[in-house]
Structure 1
Amino acid sequence: MSNKVPQLRFNGYSDAWVQRELSEVARYRNGKAHEKSVVETGPFVIVNSKFVSTEGQVRKYSDVDIEPLMEDEVAIVLSDVPNGRAIAKTFKVDRSGVYTLNQRIAALTAKENFSPSFLQLVLDRNRYFLKFDDGVSQTNLSKSDVLQFTTAYPTIEEQRRIGLLFESLDNLIAANQRKLDLLKEQKKGYLQKMFPKNGAKVPELRFAGFADDWEERKLSELATMNARIGWQNLRTSEFLDNGDYMLITGTDFKAGEIDYSNIHYVEKERFEQDKKIQISNKSILITKDGTLGKVAYVEGLTMPATLNAGVFNVRVKEDLAIDSKYLFHYLKAPFLLKFADQRSTGGTIKHLNQNVLVEFPIPLPSLGEQHKIAGLLSNFDNTIALHQRKLDLLKEQKKGYLQKMFAK
């Protein structure tokens, strides 16, 4: 029996952690088939692989509690497709009388002196289980595969402290995720109401002090659109790690902005080859291949830059009273891809054609109202980005603790 200690632990604990097989730590039972009891909505949630892998977002219901799950039991997924994301994913039952255990899911009940929360932490997507996935055939964990899982355990008091820490982190992550989701839904609601629909001259919702009818203009009337043409395409061997002329690609787009941290560069002659795809601050960039319709607004550009293939450079015409930020927000909204989808001849859109882009209708209020709308949507984006960074930081913090608070 091997005794180990983690890299990071709470003050007051110094005992060695002890290696144990799961059979020493928990009791095991299998779930049962629910095909005949599935209903559209019912009193019991079926704990299947989809429920566990989506953290409860995707649910099926049963009218019969065929294999009841009790509070603090840990469910673990036993079967998944090759390279799947569900195998060995876990769910700790938060209350009794709500969940019923499906087939190909096991339930583990922690024995005396072992914490259910700690048990879930050491089991969840553990590399031991992932090794059973050969990337070719269906992965199926047997009872013996699960019960032979071996890892180190501290005293029950330290297990509980660790479990409480991660429960607190998970609650913080969940609360911040809910805030983020709410902000995105609020923005979505404003997008649906702040632009005219179905031929209307005014939107459903607008700022006080504005009453004039809106116009509708084609994008080609408001802006120029250019992309790198075929014969100008760059070879990857021409991408430089440093230089005086930046090369922007669709993979550099991040949350509506350009992420300059991993930018490539090109030689001067490649930059000068086509002035129409030389970008500047206030350029609006749209991907036309790969992930279609990603949009970025260029700000903070400090040196000459050109575009790689697969991206449109959209520039507001200089003689027009158009707020480029307003145009950016409208192009970033779902309206463009919906329009492109309606214009497609069937099947999945694989390429955003310029002949679609030039015809895309843009609703236009007065310049003052454009400023107001752009400001509101920019504030939403900034707040969403702030919450996303906070959420990412919490997830990284949890990841760091997971790496340091468990004996290897």
Structure 2
Amino acid sequence: MNKKNKTFLVPKFRFPEFLNAGEWEEKAVSEVFKVTRGEVLSMTLVEDVQTIESPYPVFSSQTKNGGLAGYYSNYLYEDAITWTTDGANAGDVNYREGKFYCTNVCGVLINESGYANLCVAELINSVAKKYVSYVGNPKLMNGVMSNIVIPFPAVPEQQKIANCLSSLDDLIAAENKKLEALKAHKKGLLQKLYPQKGQNIPEWRFPRFRDAGEWEKKPLSSLCRVTQGGTPSTSVPEFWGGNIQWVTPAEMGKGYNKYITNTVRTLTDEGLSNCSSELLPVDSVIVSTRAPIGLLSINKKPMAINQGCHGLIPLLGYNTDFIFFSLEIKKSKLNDIGAGNTFKELSGSSLKAFPITVPELPEQQRIADCLSSIDDLIVVENEKLKALKAYKKGLLQGLFPTIEEVTE
């Protein structure tokens, strides 16, 4: 590497005590670490919760809970870096603090001189995906990992960066815990505020409605006017690019915001008149009726929908959000009544006949207000989490020399 390119080995952001510490040094992973792998472990031996008998975390290839599969009575490694070698998550790299066990789909990097830390794990993680082989089952095997070249600062600077990232990760974990707690709270409320199978009265009822009598089971068509979607010809330019939002299942269920305000594609008035969809008024419920069945949204602008959706326009006496939550709690049942093997679809007639148990409008409104307030908190918490993750991503870009710059 020539002198000009070496100047790229200094990151954009640097802690004051390291401003004159010189350039980072490029090394292959195998020059710094012993590269090894986890061992096969039957999941029947793994406990779901940590106990005195099974105190050591077991990490595998999953992404749930940071790869934590459970707890085991023995450990293999301590304070090391792991990466997923096989499968959809191949190339995911993590620092594992303390004693742990990892399965055979995890590679392990061991260094006893301080290089096994969160900073180096993030450095390797920033490039590892580029080295994954996607021929058949995705793989990043030990030999390939060994030859990856990355820039390393000295250990004191590594530790300073690691401490910074660790504090940020702790904050992200805390916000994620709040988000999961809110989701669990909402799930519990849905189960308590709506009648369970075979019941016509919910377990919990707001005080003013405790003597209001039983809820009534009705087909969805008694609550809403059910409309179908459609797509105008894609070969006619005049049908596309207008002012009418056009919803597809691909745009539903993203993030946690139940409301849709903008779509990827739009129709012209001519396009709308040349398809089977109609313009849904604001605050209609949109249901995906082709795989995946049961995604739900509420439109905050007049919108059209494609043939993978149906629109539910509430009739007088029925609350949009109440209908939304009534269907949310029954998503799996909507999927169950879909027809087809390789391609499942929920017909308009089946959707119209789908039973919903409803109280009078004032009670609908009170339940909808309660659950919507939880939804609002979830959206806020989700946005906080997204902002923290975006901040971390930007921080990493500033704290590390970029790979494009380093390898020129």
TM superposition score normalised by structure 1: 0.83
Question: Residues 223-238 of structure 1 correspond to what in structure 2 (within 5 A)?
Answer: 223-228=224-229, 233-235=232-234, 237-238=236-237
What residue in structure 2 maps to residue 68 of structure 1? 76
What residue in structure 1 maps to residue 208 of structure 2? 209
- Identify the match of residue 314 of structure 1 among 312, 320, 323: 312
Unaligned runs of 5+ in 2: 48-52
Q: How many residues align?
A: 385
- Identify the match of residue 348 of structure 2 among 346, 354, 364: 354
Pairing 1:9–2:5 present = no
Q: 1:227 Cα shift? A: 0.9
What residue in structure 2 maps to residue 195 of structure 1? 194
1:182-209 Cα deviation digits (max 9, x unpaired): 1111111111111112332311011111
Q: Which amino acid aligns with 1:399?
A: K
- Identify the match of residue 50 of structure 1 among 32, 40, 61: 61
What residue in structure 2 maps to residue 18 of structure 1? 25
CA contact (8 A) 1:196 1:202 kept: yes
What residue in structure 2 maps to residue 338 of structure 1? 333
1:25-74 Cα deviation digits (max 9, x unpaired): 33344434445x952536155745325x44445525544x3x6322x222
CA contact (8 A) 1:109 1:116 kept: no
Pairing 1:80–2:78 present = no
**Mapped partners of 1:80, 1:237: distance in 2:** 45
Pairing 1:39–2:45 present = yes
1:195-252 Cα deviation digits (max 9, x unpaired): 11233231101111112122221111121111136xx643265487743333333334
Unaligned runs of 5+ in 1: none
- Classify the secondary structure of the residue corresponding to 1:108: strand
Do the aligned partners of residues 170 and 189 (structure 1) sit closer, same or farther apart at CA in structure 2, a change above 3 Å counting? same
CA contact (8 A) 1:39 1:60 kept: no
**Mapped partners of 2:289, 2:248: distance in 1:** 11
Identity %: 24
Question: Residues 16-165 of structure 1 correspond to what in structure 2 (within 5 A)?
Answer: 16-35=23-42, 39-41=45-47, 43=54, 45=56, 47-50=58-61, 53-56=63-66, 58-59=68-69, 61-63=71-73, 65=74, 68-70=76-78, 72-77=79-84, 79-81=85-87, 84-85=88-89, 87-96=90-99, 99-103=100-104, 105-112=106-113, 114=115, 116-124=117-125, 126-127=127-128, 130-136=130-136, 139=139, 141-142=141-142, 144-165=143-164
What residue in structure 1 maps to residue 283 of structure 2? 282
- Classify the secondary structure of the residue corresponding to 1:278: coil
1:163-185 Cα deviation digits (max 9, x unpaired): 11111121111111111111111
- Classify the secondary structure of the residue corresponding to 1:321: coil
**Mapped partners of 2:30, 2:331: distance in 1:** 56
1:124-175 Cα deviation digits (max 9, x unpaired): 2633x64251423563523x54333322122222211111111112111111
| CA RMSD in angstroms, aligned pairs only | 2.9
- Identify the match of residue 381 of structure 1 among 352, 375, 379: 375
CA contact (8 A) 2:293 2:335 kept: no
CA contact (8 A) 2:175 2:381 kept: yes
What residue in structure 1 maps to residue 50 of structure 2? none
- Classify the secondary structure of the residue corresponding to 1:385: helix
CA contact (8 A) 1:115 1:160 kept: no
